[in-house]
Structure 1
């Protein structure tokens, strides 16, 4: 299980990371690990912290359900906020006088 999650990698929220792709791949891994008698949400809740760098810092018992975890994740990494920040960074780009274009 952990080898499959290692292939997914940890999501740390960098602008180059795709939030939706991370979730989709994580859910695919979970679907392939289903076990008889183990609720789907329980498996996801147990494994998801291994795919997130920030979640390990939360105090134990902070998140009670899979839906709550998803909400926290999406609020933290809201793609529209990230896109707006990236767009703002690009449109407000200025090259310093002492920087070459390559350095800028």
Structure 2
């Protein structure tokens, strides 16, 4: 399993990397594994840290044991950590224009990103 994860790719959180694509590929890859008495969610929770490198891996290691109890919770926290890393922390301190530029960069592959012109 770990060899397959390394072949699929590891996420560093660098500018230009797509966290959405990484998560999508990871979930797709995990769909190929099944273990008796282990839920797909638990497989994801166990394997996800192995898909990370550098700053993102340090973030994963900073979590307390059993701090993440669901895949949704892990995705939410990881997404926040990626946003903070890509903005050098303090995302909420950014202006509307700075925040919009960051979110556009992160979600470049989403067709439904809507700009209502707030803050112009």
- Same fold? TM cut 0.5: yes
| Unpaired segments ≥5 residues, structure 1 | 88-104
Deviation (angstroms), 1:15: 0.8
Alignment of 1:31-50 (within 5 A): 31-50=31-50
Structure 1 segments (4+ residues) deviating >6 Å: none
**Could you tell me which residue of structure 2 aligns to residue 14 of structure 1?**
14
CA deviations over 1:18-77 (Å, ceiling 9, x no partner): 111101111111000122331111111110111122312322222122111011012222
Relative to structure 1, the CA distance from residue 51 to residue 83 in structure 2 (aligned partners, 3 Å threshold; closer, same or farther) is farther
Q: How many positions carry a matched residue from both structures?
A: 86
Q: The residue matched to 1:77 in structure 2 has which SS?
A: helix
Partner in structure 2 of residue 71 of structure 1: 76
- Matching of residue 61 in structure 1 with residue 78 in structure 2: no
The residue aligned with 2:101 is: 84
| Aligned-residue CA RMSD (Å) | 2.5
Structure 2, gaps ≥5 residues long: 92-98, 105-120
CA distance in 2: counterparts of 1:22 and 1:2, whole angstroms: 16
Give the TM-score of the pair, scaled to structure 1: 0.68
Q: TM-score under structure 2 normalisation?
A: 0.60
Whole-angstrom CA distance in 2 between matches of 1:51 and 1:3:
11
What is the alpha-carbon distance in structure 2 between the residues aligned to residue 86 and residue 74 of structure 1?
A: 11
Aligned to 1:25: 25
What is the 5 A alignment of 1:85-100?
A: 85=102
Q: Distance in 1 between matches of 2:60 and 2:100?
A: 22
